[in-house]
Structure 1
Amino acid sequence: MCGMAAGAPRIFVSHLTGVAVFDPNGDQVGRVRDLVAMLRVGRRPPRLLGLVVELSTRRRIFLPMTRVTGIESGQVITTGVLNVRRFEQRPTERLVIGELLDRRVQLVETGEEVTVLDVSVQQLPARRDWEIDRVFVRKRKGGTFRRSKGETLTVEWSAVTGFSLEEQGQGAESLLATFEQLRPADLANVLHHLSPKRRAEVAAALDDDRLADVLEELPEDDQIEILGKLKEERAADVLEAMDPDDAADLLAELPEEDKERLLTLMRPDDAADVRRLMAYEERTAGGLMTTEPIVLQPDATVADALARVRNPDLSPALAAQVYVCRPPDETPTGKYLGTVHFQRLLRDPPYTLVSALLDDVLQPLEPGAPLPVVAGFFAAYDMVAAPVVDESGSLLGAVTVDDVLDHMLPEDWRETEFHLDAETEGTAHGS
């Protein structure tokens, strides 16, 4: 079938039904039962979000396309841990096999009615995104549809109509499709100005990662309101997808019993990171830091470091440097040895060991360092992120400049900024 290289051939979804899904160790975890796509406004091809996989226990779970490392020779290879919570379809989502196949749609050019027999998916070059790109249809023959008769043809998604979202309409899906290109901060701005009802509808329809990114940009009251309207298991998934420091700040605002219930529902590793952060005073280096900086062992090379820095899920501030530590390389790490700045990585050959490039002059922050000391550190060293190291010499995490600014600006800075934005644009986002 196909690998994941740029320009990968298209795959027709009928070839994927029932295909075995394997984990990185080669063990079969289940079979593909459907594909989940998100329709977009106008004639843009739908984005493929993931696969519905039926486990051997008959439970159906959602496997994001970002976790698929290969689709070839009749099998799907996945990376990482599967979330075994049951698949629940969101309002913006369409099941490709269950809802798009056998539909009657029209050819845009002639208005002729055709039946959808299959659709093909393709990975976009140099990106992790997948799209539905072509539709395989059968024309009507002699006034009736017969599977054995009628001309079949494959056309671009944009050549048929009858699937796509309307340009107007109050459904969360058309609203979301319009907002799809917005940065999280801008989508947060829009969400902030919606009515509570519409805000809850849009939040329910966003995928976990996108909602996590948007929550991090919202004022505290909005965060608490949105989280409170999600089902508890979904709320735990979204908290897992948030940066641990942002999740800790949000949980700290909830009543004790709600906080504990959500922490219990979270994956143990994620919950442990959040609990650790909640143990520090809020306006200290320990309370501001994230527990997920880039950590490398001393025998890693520049090539290894650059591969980690390229991760598109990292913020620019966290990608600006890597921290070199003895094992274990999860925080809290073994002995912290020093920092290597991104620019230094670009100046040295790929095979150079990171341990040879350390900025060991840079003094790390202590977890108890108060906010003014942390801010002074950033100003004095012209840094965008800083290592936080405990008295035993272990790296606990990193503070990024955005979190420092977040806590130094007035508490209502987000609302003020949103208000100014709306005025300067001359538009108000209605509900």
Structure 2
Amino acid sequence: MSSSLTTKVFVARLLGLDVFDPLGDRLGRLRDVVVVDRGPSKPAHTVGLLVEVPGKRRVFVPVTRVQAIEAGQIICSGLVNLRRFQKRGAERLAVGELLDQRVTFKDGSGTGVIEDIGLDQLRNGDWVVSSYYVRRGDRDTGFRPFRRLSRGERVVVEWNEILHINDSEPQAATQFVAAHDELKPADFAEALHEMSDKRRLEVAAELQDDRLAVVLQELPDEEQVQILSALDMERAADVLEEMDPDDAADLLNELSDEQQEALLQLMEPDGAEDVRRLLEYEENTAGSLMTPVPVILPPEATVAEALAYVRQEELSPATASAVYVCRPPLETPTGRYLGVVHIQALLRMPPPEPLGNIIDTDLEPVNDLAPVADVARMLATYNLTSLPVVNDQGRLVGSVTVDDVLDHLLPDDWRTNDDAEEAANG
């Protein structure tokens, strides 16, 4: 979130605020906040907003898309998935489920009823439930060792000053996810791989869509298919939308044609279109490995704008290493491909410099039908982390990164082959 976002807010005071995109178009109205219960030892984690869009449909907006809460409005970035919200796993609705809950104070001073919920932003950008605005209950007869509070008095208490709101014990899978939420995707995937089939599916079902997507990408093909097939079709489509298009296409390639088409129909049209184009390529071609969404800018864009793009957290280091300069349209397939600007060049040039003045035209793009062996040879010859991929008309259709090529060249079971790992270390 941007620095303009308020660092402490109370949920009930936000209800009904209009939600806008960065261009000023109204998306809808805030109706609730979605939090994830992480057990009694951690504050609940805020994952998104529940926004009512035209047609009375309530949709989910990830909290990472919220740019600002100011002047009685909420501003969001990026596209919003308009599929109707469905609560999953340990998710809870702040207004729908937590307000009016009766709680017990840990200091023994009685009980109360939650009337509002305070959210705080941590230094790492995450938002958590930090406090509760509580009204003392009428049956407050407990001993008060610290201070006397009259019945009906309203107080703000920290999240850890009341007993855990969820009276029932969380499921074991929920506990596992909460205890391992800091693991890197590859490490979490390794833990999943070691589980029984039943346990793996239970834990996977508790993950948020975006987390499940990045973890799936680190699992062997058969386990990816197993987990995706265990989800209901709509959720499976949501998870595919969160995956990189090339990884989503690889996973869909493991399914039957009927399953592929059913899932593509449920995906958002823009995401489905990228995946469909990748599915059209034969295996072992540059097109089958590429990502169709590299960083693409026009020649008039400045070095400052390019650096802002490559700073995006969701970009992999290999994808962020180069900016491809093309004539409009800038969506793949683009207008005429002009050349590439490497990140080192961006760091050496003044911020106002147009990209058109610093294009590297010596690096030849690869054709989308070129064999993977040619792509690997070019990456190795010129010590590159990514290569532009063009079609026969000279339009950029994507880029191939070195991690994509390595993933293709290594044995199918390289992620879980202990003998190969020992050999590599030894």
User: For the structure 1 residues 267 and 308, does the alpha-carbon distance in structure 2 shift closer, same or farther, using more than 3 Å as the test?
Assistant: same
1:176, distance to aligned residue in structure 2 (A): 0.9
CA distance in 2, matches of 1:418, 1:22: 53
Partner of 1:329: 330
SS of the aligned residue for 1:316 comes to coil
Q: How many angstroms apart in 2 are the aligned matches of 1:249 and 1:415?
A: 18
8 A contact 2:21–2:77 mirrored in 1 = yes
Give the direction of change, closer, same or farther, for the CA distance of 1:312–1:4 in structure 2 (3 Å limit): closer
Alignment match, 1:131: 128
CA distance in 2, matches of 1:358, 1:27: 36
Aligned length: 417
Matched letter for residue 134 of structure 2 = V
The residue aligned with 2:80 is 82
Contact 2:310 2:320 in 1 (8 A): yes
- Report what 1:428 is aligned to: none
Deviation readout 1:154-189 (Å, 9 max, x if unpaired): 2322333323799x8643221111121111111111
Residue in 2 that maps onto 1:370? 371
Write out aligned runs for 1:137-148 (5 A): 137-140=134-137, 143=140
SS in structure 2 of the partner of residue 332 of structure 1: coil
CA distance in 2, matches of 1:184, 1:386: 25
Is the contact made by 2:114 and 2:134 (CA closer than 8 Å) also made in structure 1?
yes
Q: Paired residue for 1:160?
A: 162
Shift of 1:318: 0.4
1:172-191 paired onto structure 2 within 5 Å: 172-191=173-192
| Farther-moved stretch of structure 1 (9-18 vs 99-108) | 99-108
**TM-score (structure 2 length as normaliser):** 0.90
Match of 1:290 in 2: 291
Shift of 1:359: 1.9
Identical-pair percentage: 50
SS at match of 1:45: coil
| Paired AA for residue 10 in structure 1 | K
Residue type of the alignment partner of 2:291: T
Residue 254 of structure 2 corresponds to 253
Cα deviation for residue 148 of structure 1 reads: 9.0
* CA distance in 2 between partners of 1:16 and 1:354 (Å): 42
Structure 2: gaps (5+ residues) = 143-148
Are the equivalent residues in 2 in contact too, given 1:40–1:165 (CA < 8 A)?
no
The CA RMSD measured in Å over matched residues stands at 2.6
Kindly state the Cα deviation for residue 112 of structure 1 after the two structures are TM-superposed.
Answer: 4.3
Aligned to 2:32: 34
- Cα offset, 1:420, TM superposition: 6.0
Measure how far apart 1:82 and its partner are.
Answer: 2.5
The 3 A distance-change label for structure 1 pair 377 and 109 is: farther
Residue type at the aligned position of 2:330: D
Q: Could you report, residue by residue, the CA deviation over 1:224-261 in whole angstroms, capped at 9, with x for unpaired residues?
A: 11111111121112112111111111111111111111
- Tell me the residue number matched to 1:235: 236
TM-score by structure 1 length? 0.89
Q: Which of 104, 107, 113 pairs up with 1:106?
A: 104
Distance 1:143 1:163, change over 3 A: closer
The structure-2 alpha-carbon separation of the partners of 1:113 and 1:412, relative to structure 1 and needing over 3 Å to count, comes to same
**What is the CA distance between 1:119 and its match in structure 2?**
1.2
Structure 1 unaligned runs (5+)?
Answer: 425-431
**In the alignment, residue 127 of structure 2 is paired with which amino acid?**
W
- The residue identity in structure 2 corresponding to 1:135 is Y
Partner of 2:201: 200
Shift of 1:276: 1.3
The match for 1:429 is none
Q: What CA distance in whole angstroms lies between the structure 1 residues aligned with 2:163 and 2:310?
A: 42
Structure 1 CA distance, aligned partners of 2:245 and 2:115? Answer: 45
Distance in 1 separating the partners of 2:403 and 2:45:
31
CA distance in 2, matches of 1:346, 1:417: 40
State the partner residue of 1:11.
9
3-state DSSP of counterpart to 1:412: coil
Could you give the per-residue CA deviations for residues 5-35 of structure 1, whole angstroms, max 9, x where no partner exists? 2683411111122223234444443322211
Distance 1:57 1:46, change over 3 A: same
CA displacement at 1:42 relative to structure 2:
4.6
CA pair 54-199 structure 1, distance change in 2 beyond 3 A: same
Question: What is the aligned partner in structure 2 of residue 52 from structure 1?
Answer: 50
